[in-house]
Amino acid sequence: MKGLLKKIKLFYWLNIASPQKYARHIGVTIGKNCRIKTRNWGGEPYLISIGDNVAVTNDVFVHTHGGGRVARAEHPNFDVFGKVVIEDWAYIGAYSQIMPGVTIGEGALVAAGSIVTKSVAPHTVVGGNPARYICTTEEYYERNKKYDIGTYGLSNAEKKKVLLSLPDEKFMKK
């Protein structure tokens, strides 16, 4: 019976609890008004802190350790760790990876699929593998303000109605 109860609890945390509730449960420090969409917090989630108004989107992986195994033949107890800090108003795009010791600065944007190996300055946009500087967040806004529809906060039905009524030039093109 004890084993079944343990499996039920694990199922709850991994499948029913929200990703944000799960992250807090395992020790990630999370500020107010955050949108957390990942469950990938590495082996030491208590080394991760997230500020207020942060978005960590789908399938982001945050690492707090790594590489120790290569030194263990000569140094059996070798282990290295780095705290990860994501400051207020940061945005981490889907499928990105944040490596140990990295700080994502206030208001920074990490593009989807990025591998962040170095700390990111506040109010900058980075992307790629390894992630590199692209522009400031103000430059990002200036480049994209012509596509701003102003639908944030609308219901899905209201947003759909607006988006389906727009001409093609209101949508981004790459």
Q: What is the pLDDT of residues 87-129, one digit of tens each?
A: 999 999 999 999 999 999 999 999 999 999 999 999 999 999 9
Of 92, 116, 90, give the one whose Cα is nearest residue 102. Answer: 116
Residue range 19-58, pLDDT digits in tens:
999 999 999 999 999 999 999 999 999 999 999 999 999 9
Long-range contacts of 39-46 (CB under 8 A, 24+ apart): 39/14, 44/81
The reply to whether the predicted model has a pTM over 0.75 is yes
Query: Residue 127 is inside which H or E element, if any?
Result: strand 124-127
Backbone angles phi, psi at 74, to 5 degrees: -95, -30
Q: Which domains does the chain have, with CATH numbers?
A: 18-137 (2.160.10.10)
In the chain, what is the straight-line distance between the N-terminal and C-terminal CA atoms, in Å?
A: 56
Q: What is the pLDDT of residues 143-162, one digit of tens each?
A: 999 999 999 999 999 999 99
How many distinct helices (H) and strands (E) make up the chain? 4, 13
pLDDT in tens, 48-101: 999 999 999 999 999 999 878 888 889 999 999 999 999 999 999 999 999 999
Query: Is 65 annotated in the active site?
Result: yes
The active-site residue, picked from 25, 63, 65, 123, is: 65
Burial-class residue 117 by CB neighbours within 10 Å (0-12, 13-18, 19+).
Answer: middle
